[in-house]
């Protein structure tokens, strides 16, 4: 079922109406990459401030749990017409929010728009918040900055942060809660689990408070569902349309049931899962085609209030509107290791295909036995212009996780989250991510012999031979490694301080209730509770560094085409007046992404050194760091901090996103690019290493072409590749590529009998292609 790519799943009339409603509500919020939305005005209300004010003597974690619950229960219920699964996201509170680092303040957002009508009201509110601030945030980010200053001295720390070399202290903190625990126990069952472990572990006040906070949260979720049940019942009583009346009654009954009981049917399971997803900031969800499967099978056999297709569609619509980051399909069974693709995997893809939007995002795990039908359906979805699903390789990921000390069964159960990071659902806190680091900035510092890139007179790193004094390439490379190791140590120290902030603030408190280890040990989510606490560092600037290393090796040390002084002068001038030399650096030196062994080996060497180095440091949660390379926008933001580089790029150019080459530098076709990337030491970067691949819809136009593309990617994933994220391009993209070739270097088009990099063609030929494109 659902396998045939020619049979599109049709939404029922009821769900076509729900779909139209979702689209209408989403339209004003495009483009969107937000987890939180504002469906209703907040009227200046802030449950966090209110609760902390009303409970001046309560322990922090207890007050926080009450505040979280209040933030949900204070909000009116909203049930859209024809819906089956209910519950809408919370508004973003204007002043403070419980998010990545715990309670975060947004002082500048107290304004009339949020219900504070007069200057006086704003002033009063600010004073109220100020009075509460200390109590509400036990440790703010100044903890990390203070540690940096203590370590390096004020002046040096200031110089360091001015280079914008890294980001430390954590980002969104995505983790995957254990949906299986919730679905197999129900919320009453969760309360029993809390009591069970509290009886064993709650020997001191702090631990007892932790368990009590979890009880408050679980009861809050129950109350939230009960509130919806009551509201739906109320609506049913006054509804005159008999069909809608029945829908309300069904909703009421469904919510009332799963408020306490463990679900039996799929409709019950998706409602309960959605409430957890809501409370989890509509974060990533994990292996949906596995944990819903028993309920799907039950409902298929015994029948259900709505059909199984409608249940999955309801759930998908909710995560679509809520902006869920990621869920995972396919992949192997944790116990047997065999491919576990099932009917639900196809059904989810078919619903995704019908939604045809930038969200919800989905990932398909590829094993050696992934059915052809699944990859065919996936490629068909790309050919229709969607960028989802992303593919990820079991063959590459699982051994990498084993290397981090993850058990075989858990490694086989991995899922993706965030910007395609990887972790074990319900058992991890990988910090996702603890920090990010720009390797190309270290290159600039190494060129200066350890001096700051901002203030060239300031010795920021250890003294190494500046580029102009190096006699050999290896001498320069050694200096790079020295700088890299020095700044890695500082960076990871700061990351750890960021972890301390999160732990002290009980950041994302709810995660602990649904993460194995936290209740069992009585230790919160950010303090080392989860079974796995390894950390993830996102890595930027690899291609730019390898290409720049290659260029100086070739033109300065090997061929002596340029002197060191000449190169330094050119870089300082951002190549102004040196266009010919820039073209040489750009076009006459091998670039990463073309299957050229010499430059690829440099990339491997650099990344191996860096990822080995971070693997020597421990996180505050227990476990070491592992690398990741899935920054989507990071390549652009880090690029903006860069000066001109010896690879021929001007200052501020994008560094290239994810694992791939710098934009436009791969000129030997997709397979060559994939080969270059597969050489990288993926086993040391288990945090998620995705690669952007751009294909035109025309290259996916026939079943034969789609099969070839899917074979190419399967081959990549079976031979060292980790992830590929597809972008399909259309006519508008081609027009933009003609005007802005620097943004579209990787766009491949079909020309007559073969495919070619679009930006390599002359303008006349580009127009030809554009004119032929549909």
Q: Residues in the site for another protein, rule: CB under 8 A?
A: 579-581, 583-584, 586-588, 595, 668-672, 675, 698-699, 701, 704-705, 707-709, 711-712, 714-716, 718-719, 748, 750-756, 762-765, 768, 771-772
Rounded Cα gap, residues 670 and 694, in angstroms: 9
Residue nearer to another protein on the CB measure, 243 or 597: 597
DSSP string for residues in 319-340: HHHHT---EEEE-B-TTT-SB-
Q: Which residues contact 545 (CB under 8 A, 6 or more apart)?
A: 439, 440, 442, 443, 603, 606
CB of 760 to another protein, least distance (A): 9
Angle, to 10 degrees, between the axis of helix 308-322 and the axis of helix 343-355?
50
Nearer to another protein, 89 or 370 (CB): 370
- Min dist CB 698 to another protein, Å, is 8
149-159 per-residue burial string, b: 16 or more CB within 10 A, e: under 16: eeebeeebbbb
Cβ count near 122 (within 10 Å): 16
Shortest reach from residue 339's CB to another protein, in Å: 17
**Tokens at 534, concatenated:** 């390894």
Least Å distance, CB 490 to another protein, is 39
* Helices 597-614/439-447 angle, 10° precision: 100
Task: Decide whether 190 or 586 has the Cβ nearer to another protein.
Answer: 586
To another protein, the closest distance from the beta carbon of 675 in angstroms equals: 6
Burial annotation 37-70 (CB, 10 A radius, 16+ → b, else e): beeeebebbbbbbbbbeeeeeebbbbbbbbbbbb
Least spacing, CB of residue 570 vs another protein, in Å: 13
Q: Minimum Å distance from CB 601 to another protein?
A: 15
Comparison of 266 and 670: residue with beta carbon closer to another protein: 670
DSSP-assigned letters across all residues of 43-109: TT--HHHHHHHH-TTS-HHHHHHHHHHHHHHTSPP---TT-SS---PPPPPSSEEEETTEEEE-GGG
Question: What distance in Å separates the CA atoms of residue 698 and residue 718, rounded to the nearest whole number?
Answer: 26
Residue number, 367 or 483, with CB nearest to another protein: 367
- Cβ neighbours of residue 12 under 8 Å, at least 6 residues apart? 307, 309, 310
Instruction: Provide the minimum distance between the beta carbon of 368 and another protein in the complex, in angstroms, as a whole number.
Output: 11
Query: CA-CA distance, 206 to 59, in Å (whole number)?
Result: 8
Closest separation between CB of residue 683 and another protein, Å? Answer: 19
How near is the Cβ of 546 to another protein at its closest, in Å? 19
Question: What is the rounded distance in angstroms from the CA atom of residue 551 to the CA atom of residue 737?
Answer: 27
Q: How far is the CB of 336 from another protein (least distance, A)?
A: 24
Pick 242 or 752: Cβ nearer another protein? 752
Please say whether the beta carbons of 585 and 649 come within 8 A: no
Residue closer to another protein (CB basis): 201 or 765: 765
* Beta-ladder partners of 328: 287, 363
User: Minimal distance in Å, beta carbon 383 to another protein?
Assistant: 13
Beta carbon of residue 557, minimum distance to another protein (angstroms, whole number): 19
**For residue 221, with 0-12 CB atoms within 10 Å meaning exposed, 13-18 middle and 19 or more buried, which class applies?**
buried
Identify the helix (H) or strand (E) that includes residue 723: strand 723-729
Strand partners, 104: 97
Query: Which residue, 150 or 588, is less far from another protein as judged by CB?
Result: 588
Considering the complex, state which of residue 199 and residue 774 has its C-beta at the smaller distance from another protein.
774
Pick 457 or 704: Cβ nearer another protein = 704
Residue linked to tokens 């491919």: 339
Neighbour order of strands in the sheet with 286-287: 286-287, 327-330, 362-366, 390-393, 723-729, 692-696, 748-751, 754-757
Please tell me the distance from the alpha carbon of residue 59 to that of residue 641, in angstroms, as a whole number.
43
Q: Are 50 and 70 in contact (CB under 8 A)?
A: yes
Between CA 536 and CA 434 the distance in angstroms is: 6
Helices (H) and strands (E) in the chain, counts: 30, 16
Least separation in angstroms between CB 420 and another protein: 23
Cβ-Cβ contacts under 8 Å for 742 (sequence gap 6 or more):
653, 654, 663, 664
Q: Which is nearer to another protein, 89 or 710 (CB)?
A: 710
Residue closer to another protein (CB basis): 438 or 596 = 596
Q: Given the DSSP bridges, would you call strands 748-751 and 754-757 parallel, antiparallel or unpaired?
A: antiparallel
Yes or no: say if 685 and 603 are a contact pair by the CB < 8 Å rule. no
For the bound state, the minimum distance from the C-beta of residue 551 to another protein, rounded and expressed in Å, comes to 12
Residues 519 and 301: their CA atoms lie apart, in Å, by: 35
Give me the least distance between CB of 411 and another protein, in Å please: 24
Q: Which is nearer to another protein, 70 or 365 (by Cβ)?
A: 365
Nearest to 231 by CA among 216, 252, 203: 252
> Nearest distance from residue 576's CB to another protein, in Å?
13
C-beta of 685: minimal distance to another protein in Å? Answer: 21
Taking the least distance from each CB to another protein, the nearer of 327 and 375 is: 375
Cβ closest to another protein, residue 511 vs residue 667: 667
Bridge partners for 103 per DSSP: 98
**Nearest Cα to 353, choosing from 731, 705, 3?**
3
Place of tokens 């979805």: 381
Query: Please, which residue, 2 or 716, has the CB nearer to another protein?
Result: 716
Closest CB to another protein among residues 69, 724: 724
Identity of the residue, 10 or 768, whose beta carbon is nearer to another protein in the bound complex: 768
């Amino acid at each position: 079922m659902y396998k045939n790519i020619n049979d599109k799943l049709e939404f029922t009339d009821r769900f076509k109406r729900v779909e139209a409603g979702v689209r209408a509500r989403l339209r004003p919020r495009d483009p969107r990459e937000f987890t939180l939305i504002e469906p209703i005005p907040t009227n200046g209300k802030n449950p966090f401030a209110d609760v902390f004010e009303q409970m001046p003597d309560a322990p922090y974690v207890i007050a926080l749990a009450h505040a979280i619950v209040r933030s949900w229960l204070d909000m009116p219920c909203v049930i859209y017409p024809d819906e089956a699964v209910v519950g809408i996201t919370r508004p973003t509170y204007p002043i403070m929010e419980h998010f990545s680092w715990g309670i975060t303040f947004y002082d500048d957002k107290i304004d009339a728009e949020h219900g504070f009508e007069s200057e006086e009201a704003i002033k009063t509110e600010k004073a109220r918040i100020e009075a509460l601030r200390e109590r509400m945030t036990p440790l703010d980010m100044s903890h990390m900055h203070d540690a940096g200053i203590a370590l390096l001295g004020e002046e040096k720390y200031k110089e360091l942060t001015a280079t914008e070399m890294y980001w430390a202290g954590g980002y969104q903190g995505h983790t995957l809660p254990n949906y299986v625990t919730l679905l197999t126990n129900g919320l009453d069952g969760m309360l029993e689990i809390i009591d069970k472990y509290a009886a064993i572990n709650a020997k001191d006040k702090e631990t007892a408070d932790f368990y009590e906070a979890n009880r408050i949260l679980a009861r809050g979720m129950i109350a939230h569902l009960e509130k919806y049940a009551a509201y739906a019942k109320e609506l049913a009583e006054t509804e005159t349309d008999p069909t809608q009346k029945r829908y309300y009654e069904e909703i009421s009954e469904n919510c009332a049931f799963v408020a306490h009981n463990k679900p039996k049917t799929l409709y019950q399971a998706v409602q309960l899962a959605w409430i957890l997803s809501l409370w989890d900031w509509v974060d990533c969800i994990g292996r949906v085609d596995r944990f819903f499967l028993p309920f799907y099978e039950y409902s298929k056999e015994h029948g259900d209030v709505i059909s199984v297709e409608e249940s999955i569609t309801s759930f998908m619509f909710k995560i679509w509107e809520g902006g869920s980051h990621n869920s995972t399909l396919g992949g192997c069974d944790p116990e047997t290791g065999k491919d576990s693709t099932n009917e639900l995997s196809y059904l989810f893809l078919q619903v995704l295909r019908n939604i045809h939007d930038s969200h919800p995002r989905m990932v398909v795990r590829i094993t050696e036995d992934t059915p052809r039908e699944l990859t065919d359906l996936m490629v068909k979805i790309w050919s229709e212009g969607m960028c989802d699903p992303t593919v990820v390789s079991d063959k590459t990921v699982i051994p990498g996780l084993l290397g981090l000390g993850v058990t075989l069964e858990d490694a086989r159960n991995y899922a993706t989250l965030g910007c395609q990071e990887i972790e074990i659902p319900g058992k991890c806190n990988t910090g996702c991510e603890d920090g990010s680091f720009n390797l190309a900035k270290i290159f600039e510092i190494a060129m200066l012999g350890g001096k700051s890139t901002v203030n060239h007179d300031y010795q920021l790193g250890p003294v190494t031979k500046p580029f102009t004094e190096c006699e050999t390439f290896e001498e320069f490379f050694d200096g790079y490694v020295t700088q890299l190791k020095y700044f890695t140590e500082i960076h990871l120290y700061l990351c750890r301080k960021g972890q301390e902030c999160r732990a002290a603030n009980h950041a994302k408190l709810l995660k602990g209730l649904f993460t194995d280890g936290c209740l069992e040990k009585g230790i919160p989510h950010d303090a080392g509770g989860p079974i796995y606490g390894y950390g993830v560092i996102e890595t930027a600037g690899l291609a730019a560094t390898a290409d720049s290393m290659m260029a100086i090796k070739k033109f300065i040390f090997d061929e002596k085409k340029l002197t060191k002084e000449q190169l330094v002068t050119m870089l300082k001038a951002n190549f102004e007046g040196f266009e010919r030399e820039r073209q040489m650096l750009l076009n006459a030196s091998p670039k990463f992404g073309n299957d050229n062994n010499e430059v690829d080996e440099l990339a491997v060497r650099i990344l191996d050194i860096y990822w080995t180095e971070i693997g020597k440091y421990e996180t505050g949660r227990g476990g070491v760091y592992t690398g990741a390379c899935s920054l989507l926008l990071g390549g652009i933001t880090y690029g903006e901090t860069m000066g001109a580089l010896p690879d021929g790029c001007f200052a501020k150019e994008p560094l290239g996103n994810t694992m791939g080459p710098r934009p436009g530098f791969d000129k030997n076709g997709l397979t060559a690019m994939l080969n270059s990337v597969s050489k990288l030491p993926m086993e040391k970067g288990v945090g998620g290493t995705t690669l952007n691949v751009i294909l035109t819809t025309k290259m996916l136009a026939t079943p034969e072409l789609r099969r070839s593309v899917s074979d190419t990617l399967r081959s990549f994933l079976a031979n060292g590749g980790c992830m590929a994220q597809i972008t399909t391009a259309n006519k508008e993209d081609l027009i933009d590529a003609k005007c802005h070739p620097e943004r579209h270097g990787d766009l491949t088009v079909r020309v007559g009998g073969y495919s070619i990099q679009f930006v390599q063609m002359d303008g006349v030929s580009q127009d030809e292609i554009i004119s032929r494109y549909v």
